Amino acid sequence: MPKVLIADSLSPAAVDIFAQRGIETDVKVGLSKDELIEIIPNYDGLAVRSACKPDADVIAAATNLKVIGRAGIGVDNIDIKAATAKGVVVMNTPFGNAITTAEHAIAMMFAAARQIPAADAGTQTGGWPKKAFMGREVSYKTLGLIGCGNIGSRVAERAIGLKMKVAAYDPFLTEERAVELGVEKVELDELLARADIITLHVPKTDATANILSKEALAKTKPGLILVNCARGGLVDEAAVKELLDSGHIGAAAFDVFAEEPAKENVLFGAPNFIATPHLGAATSEAQENVALQVAEQMADYLLTGAVTNALNMPSVTAEEAPRLKPFATLSEKLGLFAGQISDFGFDEVVVEYEGEVSELNRKPLTAALLAGLLRPSRGDVNMVSAPAILAESGVKLTETKTEDSPVYDSLIRVKVKTKATQNAPEGGWRTLAGTIIAGRPRIVEVKGMALEGDFSPVMLYVNNLDKPGFIGALGAMLGEANVNISTFHLGRTTESGEAIALVGVDSDPPADLIASLDGLEHVRYVKALRF
């Protein structure tokens, strides 16, 4: 039975969902890093919000961990690179609190435009400061959105309902989507020059860190209202303070800060500045939603392999998983085969999908193939870590698809360009193909030769010249070594040309047998394969 640690406060509904799915849970909130490291080897899953920080040290200690689920959007507290290298899926719940966060941004905009917190404080202390506050309408003003994705688009919908004009900067926003939302797609400099109000809705990445730098803020309109309910570190806080003091920025409202918890900040006490303590997702509805979603997603992955909202692995729905599973098994075995016969590494990988499989979700299939391909040389590699490892190695990966398959309903082919060396005359392309027959993965092509056979747990792969007596000699040598043959599959190009023998055996062939086979006159290559 899988076991999950809930390390941050989540709705009790999450525990109920895990229990209903047959997953054991422990709720241990407020653990120190050392305490977390000590117990994390006991768990298959880790559910967190923002307080628990599974960093590289924690993940290194997590010998059984398969998935980290973040109840919410931001994953700044999770070392995704370390998780990926370890083969741990990292999931978040990007939709559960989108409405809540969008509403908070709109609320902050109104609070800044009408100076509501200061007016409230002045009123409740008996000052009745009616003349001290002159607000601004937001209707017919231009709202500049930096980020128009899941949350930003919802802010846009609400702003348009307030009769605002919306200009959006987002490199991933298509013209079609902009038209659908009723926003104008613009470049950042144009947004800075035109916007009366700017609100940010992007994650913090290398591309977005300090996106509103001192230089960028200097390009904004006098009297700007600035709202940040996204992530700290997107805005130069010191520059905002200077511009608030000078009056260039009319008001600013921040829910997030570069350092949190923000016990102190350069912006605190600045004129017309409003702060909330990272409340964007803090509604009962949102917390219930993200708790339910993270529990369902983690349970689906641990029980069925379905992947939803993963940040380091292709998504696989619960409906897709059963259909993909046999093809994922085939892909992994093809990769494992290719990896074992690529003795000196490789420079390029091509994956071809033909027939019905070409219309499936191919990303997890490619990930499974790469996991098999890398395992002989890199050890403990899985579908999560393999694509990242291959990308870091600089190996070129190409994927193609063809709707028609001449012989089989579906076919997966892998081509690996191996490194040619003086000691490796077999350097060049290794080509394998397979399919599913009666629900089982089958080899159907090796080096372009038609050859149909099973993936036996232990196999001899022999590439030889097709000469009379060779098969008999091979069988005799296996018999003399007391290695029993379970299956025997042959393929060849032409009579007396190149041939392949795939021999399933019941035990590992001894090293001296492999050496003897390799020394035969007609043998070009021989390898014991394990699946």
With vertex at residue 124, the alpha carbon angle to CA 118 and CA 126, rounded to the nearest 5 degrees, is: 110
Instruction: Please tell me whether residue 310 adopts helix, strand or coil conformation.
Output: strand
Which residue, among 521, 523, 519, 509, has the nearest Cα to 481 in the 3D structure?
A: 509
Any alpha helices (H) in 134-252, and if so which ranges?
150-161, 175-181, 188-194, 214-217, 237-246
C-alpha 340 chain-centroid distance: 27
Q: Which residue of the set 242, 260, 356, 498 is catalytic?
A: 260
Cα gap 135→251, rounded to integer Å: 10
Structure tokens at 450: 């038609």
C-alpha 11 chain-centroid distance: 25
Q: Under the phi-then-psi rule, with left for phi > 0, alpha for psi from -120 to 50, and beta for the rest, what region is 441?
A: beta
Sheet of strand 24-27: strand arrangement? 24-27, 3-6, 45-48, 67-70, 89-91
Q: For this structure, is 440 an active site residue?
A: no
492 has catalytic annotation: no
Active-site choice (231, 375, 442, 489): 231
Which DSSP state fits 414? E
DSSP H helices, 305-378, are 320-340, 363-378
Q: How far apart are CA 387 and CA 65, in angstroms?
A: 19
Closest CA to 158 of 174, 139, 175: 139
Other CB atoms closer than 10 Å to residue 482's CB: what's the count? 10
For residue 43, give the DSSP letter.
-
Q: How many CB atoms lie within 10 A of CB 146?
A: 25
Cα 47 to Cα 26, 35, 43, 90, 384, distances in angstroms: 10, 16, 11, 10, 18
Residue 41: DSSP 8-state: G
Can 248 be counted among the known catalytic residues?
Answer: no
Residue 32 in tokens:
């120190």
**Are the beta carbons of 152 and 228 closer than 8 angstroms?**
no
Point out the catalytic residue in the list 49, 201, 278, 430: 278
How far apart are alpha carbons 354 and 38 in whole angstroms? 48
Active site residues per annotation: 231, 260, 278
